[in-house]
Amino acid sequence: MRKGRRELIKKEKIKKSMTPQEIDKKKKTIIKVFFIVVAIIVIAVIAIIANNFIILDNNKITNLVINNKNVTSNLKNKVLIEDNIIYLSKADIANFFDKYIYEDVENNQIITTYEKKSATISFDKNVITINGSEKNIYAHAIQKEGIVYLPISEMKDVYDIEICNIEKTKVVTMDSMEREQKKAIVTTDIAVKSSTNFIAKTVDRVKKGDSVIVVSTNNGSTRIRTENGKVGYIKSNQLENEFTVRENMEEEKQISGKVNLTWDYFSNYNSIPDRSGERIQGINVVSPSFFYLDEKEILRENIGNEGQAYIEWAHKNGYKVWPMLTNAEAAAESLSITSNIINSYELRQQLIDSIVDKCVKYKLDGINVDFENMKQEDKDMYSRFIIELTPRLKEIGLVTSVDVTAPDGGETWSLCFDRHILGDVADYIVFMAYDEYGESSTKAGTTAGYDWIKLNLNKFLETEEIESQKIILAVPFYTRVWTTNPNGEIISRNTVDMKNLNKILPEDIKKEWDNNLKQNYVEYTDRENKKQIWIEDLESLKAKISLIKENDLAGVASWKKDMESEDVWQIFESEIK
């Protein structure tokens, strides 16, 4: 009691000690703080009202939503809508659907590919050709102010999409038919927010019973797309009866695990080997040399009854058949023949149609394209050939594999390939990791040194940016015997099969292991000439194959069947598992 009285007396003393000016200043401070608090409350109330009831993002231009993502800010050109036809610029189609879309100026048309479709659309006819079949449409490609536009609403079958033009909200939606789509029912009238933050603008409003597309769910909030095409968030507990409209369509790989391919080569002048009763341990793909280009730029075949028996033998043993298609049979003419074909849209399509027809006729599983000796300036058009071939084969469940040499070589041997594009488009790119020192070499050396292969693999993976699971490493079943005369001139570089090498080596020859090349090396004199051999054997092959596991590559290929020693297949099977 006394203590409370003392405190009251103390406060009275303090109050009496304050001047009138000080008292007035304190009152003003209190009033100022009061108004600040009131202003904050008013702003908060306004924000809450705006947040809940005002839609702030009415579209001034047509918005584009692709697979539930508003990509309008990423458009290079605006979406055009004329006479109910929706147009998207060539640049935007390249960005969202086909980065290899191509304007064929000579034929006044656009060529576009996507997954399992290859299509052409002209600038003057309301016709589209999809995988070789013509179809009438209501529009064609146009140019406006120097910009090429395509009638994408007429090209739904090419890109396998569903398109909806929501005029009320100026939204065009495009949905991939191969992607999963889920829907649910809204349980209450609610605002759809731009984010999950406490204060977020309203992008749309939905009513109880509305059906919405479910995009994703996280931490009690669900991202949805409304019937107006607007994408935003509501609470997950405000949805019920979620159901799946369509499932994800994932393409199943033809080969599960690592590819183990062997080329079974025979020229068009030789008979096809009879392999009935034979089983090759561990392999899962054979590539017989069935197809080649002749001097008249026509696809020829070397199949007949023997070839059909070969296909039956392979399938009976569980092997996939990816025959070789080579341009090498035309020999000296291969440069001009290949150039003429790949630079002509008509000839490319004739060749592609022939490949598809023969694959269907003989029930093949894929194609191995082995074009060599091409002009460097034809590099892009060779890529176009593979770009246009791959979807046609994919449509009928076939695999496209493309053989390439090491980077940074000669113009017609190495610089004629765009490995990045080929590796991106084809199912597999096959690195022919041999002939480091080959037929045209002026210096003796190994056919396939480990260090050289490893260096070039790094170029495939890092410089060319090819996915490791698309690269098949091809190794040789042969080596060369280099013969140099006393003047230091190379007088021969004979190829020797791996299985026959020990037969030609002198008795008691000393082999030296080269740890960089991961090979044995021998050198000896024969009639004053120096002989040099970098040996391909089980140890050298094991070292090369180890790069497959080390780099998570797609598998191994071998050139060629019947050059190998008997025990090589067991090594291959165990090393690449």
pLDDT over threshold 90, residue 28: no
CB of 462 closer than 8 Å to CB of 420 = no
pLDDT at 93: 98
pLDDT at 53: 47
CB of 155 closer than 8 Å to CB of 119 = yes
For a pLDDT cut of 70, what percent of the chain falls above it? Answer: 89
Total structural domains in the chain? 2
pLDDT at 251: 83
85 and 155 together in one domain? yes
Q: Beta 428-432 vs 471-476: how paired, if at all?
A: parallel
Token readout for 292 is 């080649």
Average pLDDT, the chain: 92
197 and 130 together in one domain? no
207 and 239 together in one domain? yes
194 and 226 together in one domain? yes
Which of 109, 136, 164 terminates a domain? The answer is: 164
Q: Cα–Cα distance between 89 and 46 in angstroms, integer?
A: 42
Q: Which residues contact 148 (CB under 8 A, 6 or more apart)?
A: 89, 90, 103, 110, 141, 142
pLDDT over threshold 80, residue 16: no
Structural domain contains residue 136: yes
160 and 75 together in one domain? yes
pLDDT over threshold 70, residue 19: no
pLDDT over threshold 80, residue 155: yes
Structural domain contains residue 111: yes
Closest listed residue to residue 322, CA positions, set 286, 358, 268, 360 = 286
pLDDT at 335: 87
Mean pLDDT of 307-325: 98
Structural domain contains residue 550: no
Mean pLDDT of 252-281: 92
pLDDT over threshold 70, residue 55: no
pLDDT over threshold 90, residue 125: yes
Where does the pLDDT of residue 6 fall: very low under 50, low under 70, confident under 90, or very high at 90 and above? low
Which of 135, 164, 193 terminates a domain? The answer is: 164
Q: Cα–Cα distance between 538 and 572 in angstroms, integer?
A: 9
Structural domain contains residue 5: no
pLDDT over threshold 90, residue 330: no
pLDDT over threshold 60, residue 50: no
pLDDT at 46: 52
Give the pLDDT confidence of 245-265 residue by residue, as tens digits. 999 988 889 999 999 999 999
**Is residue 250 classed as helix, strand or coil in its secondary structure?**
coil
102 and 142 together in one domain? yes
Which of 226, 246, 266 terminates a domain? The answer is: 246
Give the pLDDT confidence of 304-313 residue by residue, as tens digits. 999 999 999 9
Range of the domain at 227: 180-246
Structural domain contains residue 572: no
Q: Cα–Cα distance between 471 and 475 in angstroms, integer?
A: 13
224 and 156 together in one domain? no
212 and 148 together in one domain? no
Mean pLDDT of 259-275: 90
Structural domain contains residue 84: yes
Mean pLDDT of 68-76: 97
Give the pLDDT confidence of 524-571 residue by residue, as tens digits. 999 999 999 999 999 999 999 999 999 999 999 999 999 999 899 999
Mean pLDDT of 481-500: 96
Q: Cα–Cα distance between 61 and 58 in angstroms, integer?
A: 9
Structural domain contains residue 68: yes
Mean pLDDT of 290-304: 90
* CATH number of the domain within which 201 lies: 2.30.30.40
Q: Cα–Cα distance between 223 and 326 in angstroms, integer?
A: 52
* CATH number of the domain within which 144 lies: 3.30.457.10
For a pLDDT cut of 90, what percent of the chain falls above it? Answer: 84
| Higher pLDDT pick, 9 / 559 | 559
133 and 84 together in one domain? yes
Mean pLDDT of 148-171: 97
- List the single range of 17-31, 363-377, 476-490, 503-517 with lowest mean pLDDT: 17-31
Structural domain contains residue 290: no
127 and 187 together in one domain? no
Q: Cα–Cα distance between 485 and 487 in angstroms, integer?
A: 5
471: Cα separation from own chain's centroid: 12
